[in-house]
Homo-oligomer: A and B are copies of this chain.
Amino acid sequence: MRHILRLLWPRAQVLTQRNVKRNFHASRVLFCARSTSHVLKTPSDIMDHEIEEMLAPLRVAVKEQGDIVKKLKEDKAPDIDIQKAVSELKHRKKTLEDKELELGAKDNIDRGKMEDLLKQKFFYDQSFSIYGGVNGLYDFGPMGCAVKANILQTWRNFFVLEEQMLEVDCSMLTPEPVLVASGHVERFQDYMVKDLKNGDCYRADHLIEATFEKMLTDKKVDADTKTEIRNLMPLIDGMSKEDMGKTIVKYNMKSPLTNNDLSEPMEFNLMFSTAIGPTGHIKGFLRPETAQGIFVNFKRLLNFNQGKLPFAAAQIGNAFRNEISPRSGLLRVREFTMAEIEHFCDPNQKDHPKFSNVADLDVVLYSACNQMDGKSPQVWKLGEAVKQKLIANETLGYFMGRIQMFMLKCGIDRKKLRFRQHMSNEMAHYACDCWDAECKTTYGWVECVGCADRSCYDLNQHSKATGTKLVAEKKLQEPKEVDVVECTSNKGSLGKVFKKDAKAIGEYLAALSVEDCDRIEKELSTNGESQITVGTQTFTLKSDMVTIKRYTKKVHVEEIVPSVIEPSFGVGRVMYSVFEHNFKIREGDEQRSFLSLPAIIAPYKCSVLPLSNKDSFVPFVQELSKALTFNDISHRVDDSSGSIGKRYARTDAIAIPYGVTIDFDSLNAPHTATLRERDSMKQIRAPLEEIPLIVKALSIGQRTWEDVLNNYPLFEQQEATKEK
């Protein structure tokens, strides 16, 4: 499974040899052996005994292969062997996970029914469908838009307000150099092949996999070839462009719909490109993530925070990825909303002052070790997981705790939420530790939030690309003597030779690292000249142009490049998971599907239903509606002629948690009305003027429905009879 968001590196690029080489470091392997002793308990819901028996052999298979990988690494075996072993490991993991999901499928909702409901009530639907639609683009209708806005508002209160984060709102259009520095221009890509006649495009790995699967069921394919294919299938994930090309040729693969010949595999960058300005010379992209906007503003943000670390910046906004063939509905789209946090801190101080607030939380962790050992996820106390160094540091742990709290608040089922640690081979090479909050859906486990310690990678990259220092100053406990190596330029001779470029060269030289100063000094003394590259141009320096000075200096502060801890939310994925986890069908009535969204997320908090269309009801409805608006309670009046039962069903379908019915008793003093709760369908009767405040308290979580039930008389009319 690929990871979204920062998260967003396509699978094809994750398994490059370099990453595998860099990341499968011994420390994690050693660490695995220790960590197993700290299991607290296993989540009983995942670990049904009978199921576990069926999974046992698959777990063993994973463990065997995991051990092989470890061994190869310890023996420093050739990369190609390790790569093959890792691919097989991933394959076995996938088989295990598929089986687990299959065995757990009885819990699954009927996705078709849910999608019918979401479409019919216009939560969301395909964009531009009167024009035939565009794959991977969705429009949110009134209900979806309200749910999304509520999730974002909750996010803002829960993270930005609570932690006093610095929220920014940056441009989506991004000039190319920014995304060259971030690595997206080079690496944000998938491999694709084209139908040579009609130009249809396919993701190369998907096509190879699909063709192999078809061949395995084809009687005309001989047994030897089938064995060969079976051996190759686990390797598809790790195939280079060349391997894919050879495989396509060897097995004579064709375009699936037309049977036409296919092109060689080619890199396809997933960013949407455009030209900024009229000349066509400024190449730009639609941002593939919101994070870069924060990094390029680091200096301003640090300044806003009066130069102090740590601080966190946050951004909610849209990002774009030009998927080759989008599928899985809201889970894999071309335009999506992200909510990202970049927490900047001293690389040597990753503790968190509020960690104690979350230390006692139970979280389900699916560690890299457990994944390699074929084990299932385990429940940990967050504090213990950090103490045992399973989670790299307190700040990362703190955010994981907060992420879980947020997800539950939004209505995610805690039994369908886990944190899966990235294994070294899938982690971006700069990340120290990365955990995805995954939600279980009918599509399997879906990565909804990434939480990564990105070290100082991004700031360093932008600093290198621009020659701008992106550092914070840290006051030293006591001043210290430091050796300074400095390259000063002779402005006169630089200017004479390089004219208008002299200024940029001077700035470049002033910001040189010690290593670069050393190199230039050495080259000048050896060859009498040294080459430097400033921006895209290369210049040759002569000895008279620069002086390398070395001296010691007493300093009171040191410059540090902050580390970044990044929680990154895919809002559409969270939303989709919330829908699945809250889709219900009324017992005994298959037609009455509804969404039991928490009030805080529900599109409307309350419905107002007059039992009759008589004129005498109108003033009561209007008065109540006005009072609800005054209290900022979004609500919907349904005065259509349907039976009250039908109207309840309709309001349930759009997840309205509370319904006020104005009935004939309401007309008489003292005026009262009934208040119904969606999930239990229970009703109470309360004075009309108290109802807005009751609903307000319920919908912001200041009061529970149980409390209301205890304080007002139950309205006993049978819902079953009444709702027919």
Contacts and interface: CB of A to CB of B under 8 A. Distances in A.
Interface of A: 121-122, 125, 127-131, 134-135, 137-142, 144-146, 148-149, 156-157, 161-162, 164, 166-175, 177-178, 192, 194, 199-201, 268, 272-279, 281-282, 284, 286, 293, 296-297, 299-301, 303-304, 306, 313, 318, 320, 322-324, 334-335, 462, 465-466, 468, 629, 632, 634, 636, 640
A173 B141 contact: no
A629 to B, nearest CB: 7
Nearest to A320: B173
A313 B141 CA distance: 10
Contacts of A139: 168-171, 293, 297
Contacts of A274: 272-274, 286
Nearest to A297: B139
Contact of A629 (B162, B170, B284, B324): B162
B122 A141 contact: no
A278 B167 contact: no
Given A134-B173, A172-B318, A466-B130, A141 B297 contact: yes
Contacts of A634: 161
A608 to B, nearest CB: 11
A9 B542 CA distance: 56
Given A134-B173, A192-B278, 11 more contacts: A125-B300, A127-B170, A127-B296, A130-B296, A131-B175, A157-B632, A164-B636, A173-B335, A199-B281, A201-B278, A277-B324
A272 B284 CA distance: 10
A624 to B, nearest CB: 14
A183 to B, nearest CB: 15
Nearest to A202: B278
Nearest to A140: B169
Given A167-B146, A279-B199, A322-B277, A131 B161 contact: no
A125 B324 CA distance: 35
B278 A173 contact: no
Nearest to A650: B306
A171 B138 contact: yes
Given A146-B167, A167-B145, A169-B145, A322 B140 contact: no
A342 B130 CA distance: 19
A467 B710 CA distance: 58
A152 to B, nearest CB: 10
Contacts of A462: 130
B334 A276 contact: yes
A169 B157 contact: no
A322 B282 CA distance: 12
Most buried by B among A201, A297, A303: A297
A475 B341 CA distance: 53
Nearest to A138: B171
Contacts of A135: 277
Nearest to A700: B632
B137 A173 contact: yes
Contacts of A129: 296
A306 B646 CA distance: 14
Contact of A276 (B134, B149, B157): B134
Most buried by B among A145, A166, A640: A145
A606 B640 CA distance: 46
A466 B130 CA distance: 6
A631 to B, nearest CB: 11
Given A200-B279, A293-B139, A121 B169 contact: no
A138 B161 CA distance: 24
Given A273-B274, A299-B130, A306-B640, A166 B178 contact: no
A142 B171 contact: no
A276 B322 CA distance: 7
Contacts of A192: 278
Closest 10 pairs between A and B when the two form their complex, measured CB to CB: A201-B278, A142-B166, A140-B169, A139-B170, A127-B171, A137-B171, A145-B169, A130-B468, A130-B466, A272-B274
28 contacts: A121-B304, A122-B304, A125-B300, A128-B174, A130-B296, A131-B296, A131-B466, A134-B276, A134-B282, A134-B284, A139-B171, A139-B293, A139-B297, A140-B170, A141-B300, A142-B166, A145-B167, A145-B168, A148-B169, A149-B156, A161-B632, A200-B279, A272-B274, A272-B275, A272-B276, A274-B286, A275-B322, A276-B322
B167 A149 contact: yes
Nearest to A298: B130
Contact of A134 (B164, B175, B278): B175
Contact of A128 (B137, B146, B175, B200): B175
A115 to B, nearest CB: 15
Nearest to A173: B335
Contacts of A161: 629, 632, 634
A167 to B, nearest CB: 5
Contacts of A127: 170-171, 293, 296
A94 to B, nearest CB: 26
Nearest to A303: B122
Contacts of A171: 127-128, 134, 137-139, 335
A125 B300 CA distance: 9
Nearest to A133: B175
Contacts of A640: 306
A201 to B, nearest CB: 4
A323 B129 CA distance: 30
A551 to B, nearest CB: 29
B128 A144 contact: no
Nearest to A282: B134
A475 to B, nearest CB: 14
Nearest to A200: B279
A549 to B, nearest CB: 27
A173 B334 CA distance: 9
A304 B142 CA distance: 9
A272 B173 contact: yes
Nearest to A313: B142
Nearest to A469: B130
A128 B167 contact: no
A634 B160 CA distance: 10
A134 B634 CA distance: 41
Contacts of A128: 171, 174-175, 178, 296
A480 B284 CA distance: 59
B335 A172 contact: yes
A5 to B, nearest CB: 19
